[in-house]
Amino acid sequence: MTQNHSEHVNQATNYIKQQENKVRNTKYRLNYHMMPPVGWMNDPNGLVQYKGEYHLFYQHYPYAPKWGPMHWGHAKSRDLVNWEHLPVALAPSEYYDNGTMDDHGCFSGSAIEKDNELYLLYTGHSIERESMQVQCIAKSGDGIHFIKENQNPVIDYFPEDGSKDFRDPKVWQYDNQYYMVVGSKKDGKGKALLYQSSDLIEWGYRGVVAESNGKQGDMWECPDLFPLEKEHALILSPMYGEKNEKPIIIFGEMDYKVAKFSQDRSILLDYGHDFYAPQTLKDEKGRRIMIGWMDMWFSKRPSEEDGWVGAMTIPRELTYNHNGIFIQQPIEELKALRNNHHHIQDFEIHGVHRFPKLDGIATELCIDFDIVNSDSPVFGLHLRCSTDRSEKTIIKVDTINKEIIVDLTSAGKGKSGVYKAPYNSKTDGKLNLRIFLDTTSMELFVNHGEQVITNRIYPHSSSNEVDLFAEGGKARVLKADKWSLRSVWK
C-alpha cells in the first residue's frame, strides 16, 4: 500500500519539476500570493503549524490546468508570506480514493500534530463506490513524506443524518479528545456532522452539531468550527443545488456535552466573487488565521492557457475591533513586502484626477476618506487603468445607499460583474479602504476589515494607472498611502 502511494506521489512530483519552468514567468503569475507551480489549485487543506513552520496543503491536479483526480499539493513557510513548494503530499492510489473514472481523488481535509507526527485527515472519493466519500488518514514524521494508514478508511460510511455527500473533515483537539466536523446534507439542509476520537483512528459519531436554518444552503462544504475569543464560530461554504455560494461565518456557542453548536448570528465572509472554501488555524502566537481559495467554480480563467489555474488569498487574522465587531485583517507579516512608499494627505477630489504616485501592479493602497466633509454622493478609485481608460477596475463609495461597489465590467479578461458590500457609516465620519493589488487579483478591506471584497482580475500588464474620482460634488481625502509589494517568488 505504501509503495503504491509513493509511486503515484513521485510521478506527480516529477511531472511538476519537468513542467514548472514553462509556467514560472507567464503573464498572469502573481507576486505575493500562493499559487500552484503548475496545473490546477482549489481548496486550501491542512493549514497547520508544525515544528515551527506553517504548512499549507491544497487541492491539486498537477497534470492539467483543470479539475481532475485530486492530489494534495504542499508548500511551507516561516512567516505565511514567503512560500516554498514541496513535493506532492497525497495522490489517489487506493480503492477508497482511486478509480477508473476521472471523478476520484484525495478530497479536502485538515491536519493536526500528534506525538510529533503530522496527520492529514482527508476525504477519499470515488464515484464508482457505493460509499462515495469516506474519511481517511495519512501521517508523516518529517512533514513532507506521508504514508496512508492501513486502517483506512477510518470512517467508512456516512451516518443516517447525512448522505453520500460526506466530505471535508476538519479536526482539532479539545480536553484531551480529538473532534472532527464533516460536511454533508439531508432533507434539503446542509449539515455539519461531529465525530470524537481518543487516537485519530477510532471515531465515534456524536450527531449533527449544526445544520442550515433553511436559508444557508442544502450542502455544507469545508466546515470549520473553532473558538474565537468569547464565543465559537462555524465557517462553511454553502451549496444551493449545484451552485456554490459565498462562504459564511456563524457565531454562537459550542456545548461539547450535548455535541451542539447553537447559532446566534451569521454574516458573509467576503462579498467578492473569488473566495471559497476558507480554512483556519490557530498559530503559536495565538492568532486565528484564515486562508481561502481565491477563485470560484465555473469562472473564466485566462491563466489556463499558460498551464496553471488557482491561487490563495493573503492570510487574514480573524478578531474583533474595539467596538466588538468581527473583522478580518491582513496579517502583520505582509508589511515586510513593502517598499517604494508614497504618502499624500489632505486633498479634495472634484471630477476625475490621475494620481501617478499611486500607480502599480503589485501594490498596497490605503486611503482614508472624510465622509462628513465630502458632499459627493459617489466617489472612489479607478485601478489598473489602461492609458485610454478602456480598461479599469472601479471601486465606488455610494454614500446614499451606504455601499461599497466593485465594478469589473471593464476590468479585463476575467469574469465581469458588480459586487456590493454594506459599510458602517458610524466610524467617526471616516471611511478606510485598504486594497491589495496583485497581477491578477484585488482584495479590498473596508473599515479595517469589517467587510472584504475579493476578486480575480485579468487586465493587460500595461494597465497600471490609478485615478481618484468624485461625482456631483467633492470628496475629501485625509490621507493616501501606497507601497509597492515585492515578489515572494523571484
What residues are annotated to the active site?
43
Look at residue 283 and give its three-state secondary structure.
coil
Query: 227: cis peptide before it, omega within 30°?
Result: no
C-alpha angle 61-453-225 in degrees, rounded to nearest 5: 65
The residue assigned the cell 487506493 is: 94
- All cell numbers assigned to 386: 489602461
**The three cell numbers locating residue 338:** 513593502
CA 338 to chain centre: 22
3-state secondary structure of 366: strand
Task: Give Cα 416 to chain centroid, integer Å.
Answer: 20
* Three-class HEC string of 195-258: EEECCCCCCEEEEEEEECCCCCCCEEEEEEEEEECCEEEEEEEEEECCEECCCEEEEEEEECCC
Spatial distance between the Cα atoms of 428 and 306, rounded to a whole number of angstroms: 47
d(CA 481, CA 483): 7
